[in-house]
């Protein structure tokens, strides 16, 4: 009685319970779980059945203590930038949880406390308490302080976004250049010869990549000496952006299509086009970037570039766990292609 009182254990079955139920010893049960091939088939069946019946699962804390593997991945979420609403936060996180789950790992969310900018203490705590096997980072920039810190601590990680040359090249990223070039392909294929680009002044690598891809696309189609219209505007200042786009639409060589750096900018383009009395899609085609859910709700529905989030997540998990397990890992980063989702904002044009 006192003993029962003393352990406030949840009704969870222990390995011993299973062993007793199956008439074997603890270690046999352990073997069934961790090295099934070393157990005789009939014994295995009996034990497996007992496991099922009792709903047994090893206590992860005990297992971790013993093996050193936590089966948990720490996810360092980016701080959401309200001006470039992050498609990652929704879709990528889901993809990451799925990918980790497929490998028997869970995802623990890490964020510096509200107000604190430096994520390193939060990272250190997790490492010191040995709560994670490694980290996945999103929105990684070249000189990312988090990467440097984690790398120095000698903890495995994998980054969504290219890391600096000096640090481990454990990253996966979207081929933004190629993606934006394919946007130009798409528009050129629909007969557009004057294509504007609506980007952002931000120096974020993916933003500069998109502009670069746009230029490359124009060149590929011999449009680089046709009126190239590049417009970079201050983030968040929608009204000014609308004005600028309207100016372009009134100019002599009015663009018949716009490629944009993200879906919100595409929305701004919609507004400017309408303000000029033109019809989006028919008069001026628009392509967004990110393919956030909003795209399907706009009128006309917005053609956009969908990031391969599931692929990225899977690849990140694969690389991270390879490091954790001490398996050989590719020493180079990986670039994944994005996919253009054609919708009503870029209709096929009459010849």
Partner DNA sequence: CTGTTAGCGCTTTCAG
Partner DNA sequence: CTGAAAGCGCTAACAG
Interface residues toward a copy of itself, by CB under 8 A: 8-12, 55-62, 64-65, 68, 70, 72, 75, 77, 80, 82-83, 85-86, 89-90, 93-94, 97-98, 101-102, 106-111, 113-114, 122, 124-131, 154-155, 236, 238-239, 242, 264, 267-268, 271, 274, 293-294, 296-299, 310
Is the Cβ–Cβ distance between 203 and 140 less than 8 Å? Answer: no
Let me know if 118 is exposed, middle or buried by CB neighbors in 10 A (0-12, 13-18, 19+): exposed
Could you say which of DNA, a copy of itself, none residue 25 binds, taking C-beta under 5 to 8 angstroms by partner kind? DNA
Could you say which of a copy of itself, DNA, none residue 351 binds, taking C-beta under 5 to 8 angstroms by partner kind? none
Among 45, 53, 65, 90, binds DNA (CB under 7 A): 65
What is the C-alpha separation between 349 and 347, in angstroms, rounded? Answer: 6
Could you say which of DNA, a copy of itself, none residue 43 binds, taking C-beta under 5 to 8 angstroms by partner kind? DNA
Q: What is the chain's length?
A: 351
Q: According to the binding rule CB under 7 A, does residue 142 interact with DNA?
A: no
CA-nearest of 287, 290, 273, 308 to 190 is 287
Query: To the nearest whole angstrom, how small is the minimum distance from the Cβ of residue 171 to a copy of itself?
Result: 22
The residues, any chain, with a CB within 8 Å of residue 120's CB and separated by 6 or more, are 145, 146, 149
Site string for DNA, 7-26 (x = CB under 7 A): x-x----xxx-------xxx
Q: Which is nearer to DNA, 19 or 340 (CB)?
A: 19
Q: How many beta carbons lie within 10 A of that of residue 161, not counting itself?
A: 22
Q: According to the binding rule CB under 7 A, does residue 243 interact with DNA?
A: no
What is the C-alpha separation between 110 and 70, in angstroms, rounded? Answer: 16
Q: According to the binding rule CB under 7 A, does residue 51 interact with DNA?
A: no
Among 21, 50, 51, 58, binds DNA (CB under 7 A): 58
Among 40, 114, 250, 332, binds DNA (CB under 7 A): 40
Residues that bind DNA in the complex, under the rule CB under 7 A: 6-7, 9, 14-16, 24-31, 33-35, 37-40, 43, 56, 58-59, 62-63, 65-67
């Amino acid at each position: 009685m006192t003993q029962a009182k003393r352990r406030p254990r949840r009704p969870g079955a222990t390995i011993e319970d299973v062993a007793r139920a199956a008439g074997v010893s603890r270690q046999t049960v352990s073997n069934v779980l961790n090295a099934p091939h070393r157990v005789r088939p009939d014994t295995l069946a009996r034990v497996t059945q007992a496991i099922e019946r009792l709903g047994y699962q090893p206590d992860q804390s005990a297992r971790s203590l013993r093996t050193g593997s936590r089966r948990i991945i720490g996810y360092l979420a980016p701080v959401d930038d309200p001006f470039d609403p992050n498609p990652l936060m929704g879709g990528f996180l889901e993809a990451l949880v799925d990918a980790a789950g497929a490998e028997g790992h869970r995802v623990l969310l890490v964020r510096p406390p509200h107000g604190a900018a430096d994520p390193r203490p939060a990272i250190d705590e997790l490492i010191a308490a040995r709560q994670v096997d490694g980290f996945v980072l999103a929105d990684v920039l070249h000189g990312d302080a988090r990467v440097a810190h984690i790398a120095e601590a000698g903890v495995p990680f994998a980054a969504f976004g290219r890391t600096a040359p000096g640090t481990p090249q454990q990253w996966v990223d979207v081929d933004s250049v190629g993606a934006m070039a394919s946007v130009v392909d798409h528009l050129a294929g629909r007969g557009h010869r004057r294509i504007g680009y609506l980007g952002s002044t931000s120096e974020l690598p993916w933003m500069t990549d998109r502009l670069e891809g746009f230029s490359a696309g124009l060149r590929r189609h011999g449009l680089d000496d046709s009126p190239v219209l590049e417009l970079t505007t201050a983030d968040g200042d929608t009204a000014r952006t609308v004005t600028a786009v309207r100016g372009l639409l009134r100019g002599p060589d009015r663009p018949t299509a716009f490629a944009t750096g993200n879906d919100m900018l595409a929305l701004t383009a919609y507004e400017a086009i309408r303000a000029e009395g033109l019809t989006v899609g028919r008069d001026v085609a628009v392509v967004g970037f990110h393919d956030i859910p909003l795209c399907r709700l706009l009128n006309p529905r917005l053609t956009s570039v969908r990031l391969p989030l599931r692929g990225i997540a899977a690849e990140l998990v694969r690389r991270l766990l390879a490091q954790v397990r001490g398996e050989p890992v590719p020493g180079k980063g990986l670039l994944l292609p994005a996919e253009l989702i054609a919708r009503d904002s870029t209709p096929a044009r009459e010849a």
